[in-house]
Structure 1
């Protein structure tokens, strides 16, 4: 089983600014100011996770990096909204949370603020924000990379989505990872066959 230190070092090696969170927490801080102290310095990361080996990983957003957070629960089902857009988005890394939410990682060429409820069940973590990184655990359940793809640069579809330019038709796309892995045509074909049989 890969240690949290290894996960933290992987983020730092990719030049993400990271910081430790308290064990089993998404928000409880260890540092005085994660915004000022988050770093990609490998020595500092090793120091933190040797002192706090079970600390969760906070991944700072902003400065050219955003995360689209898609909730998946009875109260806030962002998947239904995301289905209208995902086919137009570039393939990118996806982290899944213990609650089965999606984190879509994108590089951006402009400052993007944090948006809460940009759409129902969807938020953006941008300037001044953070997400919990892969390898972290809540109640024994892990955050994990469900699609280990290179992090993509946001395209016009992503920017339109953030700017609420709703111009793409709704599609039934239920499994983002499978679609991204090259099974999109087979998947859409099966959906159409099922529709025709009804």
Structure 2
């Protein structure tokens, strides 16, 4: 069945609840549970990191491998300076190290506001309704509670630590860990990356 013209399942659930269509509400809820289970199985599969690395590269986002379960590049590598979109190189890296986390450089198509822990979350709550925080084109949870990566259009600026309490900035010369990498927890997209919007902003 073609569902491309249907609203997201969350909107359908809300509509069913507002109209008291409980049969539809329960059916959609069961479908959402099945979708969530399938997504979890896909992201926990042995090939999940390799597939994600290939997808990023196919979308024009350079990647490079990080140590499994860590944020650090492999010893002897050049870290983010090795990042590439070359499909064959990406395949070789993740064939050799299928559990390698995924690093992506900042300062190209996007920069990242790094919200770290409870103090960062407090700062973000105070700033998010002001014009200090620019438009967000993607939001990812990280390996720590209360932590987020906010993807914004590239500014041309470099890295800055402690721009606000608990908040760092990743720009030129920096990198972040990309979903579905794992450290303490799995990194995950809370708001999918809007590549079209980022590319339009860069023009």
User: What's 1:114 paired with?
Assistant: 159
TM-fit CA distance, 1:147: 1.1
C-alpha contact (below 8 Å) 1:134/1:143 kept by paired residues:
yes
Q: 2-side partners of 1:15 and 1:114: how far apart?
A: 22
TM-fit CA distance, 1:149: 4.5
Assess, with a 3 A threshold, how the Cα gap between structure 1 residues 33 and 143 changes in structure 2: closer, same or farther.
same
Structure with greater proportional helix content? 2
Q: 2-side partners of 1:31 and 1:135: how far apart?
A: 24
Q: 1-side partners of 2:87 and 2:168: how far apart?
A: 30
Question: Map of 1:111-150 to 2, 5 A cutoff?
Answer: 111-139=156-184, 141-150=185-194
Root mean square deviation, CA, Å:
2.0
SS in 2 for 1:69: strand
User: What's 1:5 paired with?
Assistant: 50
Q: Which structure ranks higher in relative contact order (CA pairs < 8 Å, sequence separation ≥ 6)?
A: 1
Q: 2-side partners of 1:5 and 1:28: how far apart?
A: 16
Gaps of 5+ in 1: 154-198
TM-score, L = length of structure 1: 0.68
Paired residues in the alignment total 149
Question: Map of 1:46-125 to 2, 5 A cutoff?
Answer: 46-73=91-118, 77-87=119-129, 88=131, 89-100=134-145, 101-108=147-154, 110-125=155-170
Gaps of 5+ in 2: 1-41, 199-203
